[in-house]
């Protein structure tokens, strides 16, 4: 689906089902340099279980017109405006990596729009290695290659995905390399500069669930658990043998973690 936000086209995948206005809404927010397609295993599932699913392309990503926004708070306010444009009064926000930081900010800045949070690939702080920042800023292939190498768990590096024929490592690398010039560098800089996750989490009043990969090297599960401790009543689900891209690496286990939360 396409809507207009700030005079520019904004796109979201709906899982081929837009649903009825009264159906509960779920907004899925991707990570740095990515787009709506990282949620391909979740979007249709959510949409065909009586929900309205909106896997958004942030500005400058996927089919949404740019430029990319430079800070997490700006992206959060954009998501709120996207919800207004799409006729979404309140939603469960599902975020991955940078998208989790954005979802946190939406919940703190726009509590009336946030039903609950599902945060994955997130930590108390998300500094980016200087080599990765430099490679991404220069639009070098090394940037996506480093993310793929560091981001996937050991089993995903070796293959054996439950969906026959899917090469998670190659798919992630191609997705990142296909992003518009400058977008990955801008997004990683936004993550590196964002130092408010703990303070923002302490402002969140809605229910929250953290879905973390046991083998996540980019946002270690221990730090994600510490951040969860800043939100009263937050639940934590650890997915074994999963790295930073757990929703793609372990889609069945990710689905199981959402039972009782969304489904």
Cα–Cα distances (Å) from 74 to 102, 105, 109, 234, in that order, read 9, 9, 11, 25
Cα–Cα distances (Å) from 151 to 71, 80, 108, 186, 217, in that order, read 22, 28, 28, 18, 6
Q: Which two tokens stand for residue 100?
A: 């989790």
Asked if the model's pLDDT at residue 162 lies above 70, the reply is no
User: How high is the pLDDT of residue 5?
Assistant: 98
Asked if the model's pLDDT at residue 263 lies above 80, the reply is no
pLDDT in tens, 213-246: 999 999 999 999 999 999 999 999 999 999 999 9
Which domains, and CATH codes, for the chain?
2-126+194-258 (3.40.50.1820)
Asked if the model's pLDDT at residue 159 lies above 80, the reply is no
User: How high is the pLDDT of residue 163?
Assistant: 62
Helix, strand, or coil (residue 61) = coil
User: How high is the pLDDT of residue 251?
Assistant: 92
Closest CA to 190 of 140, 127, 131, 245: 127
Closest CA to 58 of 109, 103, 26, 25: 103
Mean pLDDT of 126-154: 93
pLDDT tier at 160, thresholds 50, 70, 90: low
Asked if the model's pLDDT at residue 33 lies above 80, the reply is yes
pLDDT in tens, 65-103: 999 999 999 999 999 999 999 999 999 999 999 999 999
pLDDT > 90: percent of the chain = 84
pLDDT in tens, 44-62: 999 999 899 999 999 999 9
Which of 160 and 135 is assigned the larger pLDDT?
135
pLDDT tier at 156, thresholds 50, 70, 90: confident
User: How high is the pLDDT of residue 164?
Assistant: 59
Angle at 252 between CA 98 and CA 14, to 5 degrees: 60
212 close to 254: Cβ distance less than 8 angstroms: no
């Amino acid at each position: 689906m396409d809507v207009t936000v700030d005079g520019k086209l904004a796109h979201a995948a709906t899982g081929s089902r837009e649903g009825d206005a009264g159906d509960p809404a779920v907004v899925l927010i991707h990570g740095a340099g990515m787009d709506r397609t990282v949620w391909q295993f979740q979007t249709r599932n959510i949409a065909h279980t009586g929900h309205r699913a909106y896997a958004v392309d942030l500005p400058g990503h996927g089919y949404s017109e740019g430029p990319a926004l430079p800070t997490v708070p700006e992206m959060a306010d954009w998501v709120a405006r996207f919800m207004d444009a799409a006729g979404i009064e309140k939603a469960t926000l599902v975020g991955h990596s940078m998208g989790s930081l954005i979802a946190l900010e939406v919940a703190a800045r726009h509590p009336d729009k946030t039903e609950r949070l599902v945060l994955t690939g997130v930590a108390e702080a998300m500094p980016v290695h200087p080599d990765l920042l430099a490679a991404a800023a220069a639009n070098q292939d090394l940037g996506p290659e480093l993310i793929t190498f560091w981001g996937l768990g050991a089993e995903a590096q070796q293959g054996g995905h439950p969906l026959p024929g899917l090469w998670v490592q190659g798919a992630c690398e191609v997705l990142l390399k296909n992003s518009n010039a400058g977008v990955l560098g801008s997004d990683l800089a936004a993550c590196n500069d964002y130092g408010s996750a703990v303070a923002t989490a302490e402002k969140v009043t809605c229910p929250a669930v953290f879905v973390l990969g046991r083998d996540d090297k980019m946002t270690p599960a221990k730090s994600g658990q510490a951040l969860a401790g800043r939100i009263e009543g937050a639940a934590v689900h650890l997915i074994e043998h999963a790295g930073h891209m757990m929703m793609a690496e372990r889609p069945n286990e990710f689905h199981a973690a959402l039972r009782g939360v969304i489904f």
